[in-house]
Amino acid sequence: MFDIQEIRSQFSILNREVNGKPLVYLDNAATSQKPNSVLEVWNEYYTELNANVHRGIHTLSQLATEEMELSRRKIQKFINAKNDFEVIFTKGTTEGLNLISYILTSKLKQGDEIIISYLEHHSNIVPWQLLCDRTGAKLRVIPIDENGILQLDYLDQFLSEKTKVVSVNQVSNALGIVNPIEEIIAKTRANSNAYIVIDGAQSAPHFSIDVQALDCDFFVFSGHKMYAPMGTGILYGKQEILEDLPPFHGGGEMIAVCSFDGTTYAGLPFKYEAGTPNVGGNIALGAAVDFMNKIGHQNIQNHENALLDYAQKQLLKIDGLKVYGENANRTGVVSFNLEGVGISSDVGMILDKMGVAVRTGHHCTQPIMDFFNIAGTVRASFAVYNTFEEIDLLAEGVKKAQRMLS
């Protein structure tokens, strides 16, 4: 049974008002709200278990270690990784992508190529540009069409023995477009020996992930977009690849033996987890997985897809409103502008006065905005606790903004 009111009752923040209006939170692609069960686990760590992990023989350290490693195993199952030590705790997607681009430095040279797409967040552009700067490699970009859909014929043209990395997102944060990563991975495997990196920041919250079935080399995502605290995230990497590559950070936890003559590194996952981790956040990330598992991935996906379909239909009834990626396969996001309204933030401010929280601007995807020749969009993004009534309030607010700004 999918009981939306029971789900909403687990999010205390949804009871608050903003500018005298009930909060309608539609900025979930930026960060989701956190259920009480996750907040309770996070609070319990600091009030009952607070200790550093993996280093102490005392009781609190042992208990904290057990809880964090239990969370790692929950995440292993969540993404169907083969081994729990292939699951690396990070601060989020951005750190994961930077980590990967850094440790691959020795694997690239002048003339090699890295393929990304036009739909990438800046965090899946800039780290690869930095890698190109370090190595002399060249960046190649899969273009999009007028619907925001990747033109994979270009991928066929780009792939060669020079291709060393292919890194794409599974879902666009700006447009909500679901990319055909299975096809991208198959093409890459057939035509190169490239490392395949998948940015799952906007897919992990919305549908089930199976990294073994995908056969990607790396998969990264953030906890805070899937009901966990900020400062949490996951990097999945295949065992043989992570064992072959060098560490990212140096410090405590990631060493086997350290001396002034040299250092040998700990095994996985600790090789990539230098320093004190975000223990409370990492444990709470496991609680967020529990929350999603209890509702069911298919139930989450079905509800959010119904919300998206309803939102697009209601918004397109408004004369002069354009939805970007309208005809593409999408999830979780509707991104739009009003004809004659030049600044998307003006729409966002009017919606905020009505208690409706959306995101406006370029969404850290300036190349997409340049492609459509716009400065930004209004983006409404959905989570499991959103309702059809909230979408009606969104549409009402957009109509009011249109009247005020046109």
Q: Within this chain, do residues 314 and 289 fall inside the same structural domain, yes or no?
A: no
Residues 6+ apart with CB under 8 A from 9: none
Average pLDDT, the chain: 97
Structure-block tokens of residue 184: 């991208």
* Residue range(s) defining the domain that contains residue 389: 296-405
Which residues are the active-site residues? 364
Task: Mark whether 186 and 88 lie in a shared domain.
Answer: yes
Does residue 178 have a pLDDT over 90?
A: yes
Instruction: Answer yes or no: is 20 within a domain.
Output: no
Give the pLDDT band (50/70/90) at residue 55. confident
Give the model's pLDDT for residue 342.
79
Residues 93 and 235 in one domain: yes
Q: Among residues 230, 260, 293, which one ends one of the domains?
A: 293
Co-location of 110 and 139 in the same domain: yes
Do 339 and 219 sit in the same domain of this protein? no
- Give domain status of residue 44, yes or no: yes
DSSP states along 181-223: HHHHHHHHHHH---EEEEE-TTTTTTS---HHHHT-SEEEEES
Q: Phi and psi dihedrals of 203, rounded to 5? A: -105, -40
Looking at the 3D structure of the chain, how many domains does it have? Answer: 2
**What is the helix (H) or strand (E) element at residue 348, kind and residue range?**
helix 344-353
Tell me 13's DSSP state.
G
- Strands 321-323, 333-338: pairing kind: antiparallel
pLDDT at 22 over 80: yes
- Average pLDDT rounded to a whole number, residues 124-131: 98
Taking CA atoms, 366 is separated from 5, 33, 284, in Å, by 37, 26, 33
pLDDT tens digit sequence for 32-51: 999 999 999 999 999 999 99
What residues have CB less than 8 Å from 262, skipping those under 6 apart? none
Yes or no: say if 153 and 129 are a contact pair by the CB < 8 Å rule: no
Q: At 87, which helix (H) or strand (E)? A: strand 87-90
**Residue ending a domain, choose from 293, 309, 331:** 293
- Region 48-64: mean pLDDT is 94
Q: Decide if 399 is inside a domain.
A: yes
- Assigned domain for 139 exists: yes
371 pLDDT more than 80: yes
Report yes or no: 121 and 365 within 8 Å, Cβ to Cβ: yes
Instruction: Please confirm whether the linkage preceding 247 is cis (ω < 30° from 0).
Output: no
Q: How confident is the model at residue 151 (pLDDT cuts 50, 70, 90)?
A: very high
Residue 281 and residue 341 in one domain: no
Query: Does residue 97 sit in helix, strand or coil?
Result: helix
Query: 345 pLDDT band (50/70/90 cuts)?
Result: very high
What residue type is 267 in one-letter code? G
Taking the CA atoms of 374, 312, 92 and 199 in sequence, report the sign of the dihedral they define.
negative
- What pLDDT score does 84 carry? 98
Mean pLDDT of all residues in 331-359: 95
In a domain, 236, yes or no: yes
Residues 222 and 342 both lie in one domain: no
Distance, in Å, from the CA atom of 296 to the CA atom of 290, rounded to the nearest integer, reads 10
CATH of the domain at 316: 3.90.1150.10
Distances (CA, A) of 47 to 280, 299, 370: 10, 34, 49
Q: What's the CATH number where 252 sits?
A: 3.40.640.10
Confidence of residue 106 (pLDDT cuts 50, 70, 90): very high
Whether residue 346 lies inside any domain: the answer is yes
pLDDT of 56 > 90? The answer is no
Above 80 in pLDDT, residue 1?
no
Provide mean pLDDT across the span 88-104: 98
SS3 228: coil
Residue finishing a domain among 246, 272, 293 = 293
- What are 359's strand-pairing partners? 379
Q: For residue 12, is it within any domain?
A: no
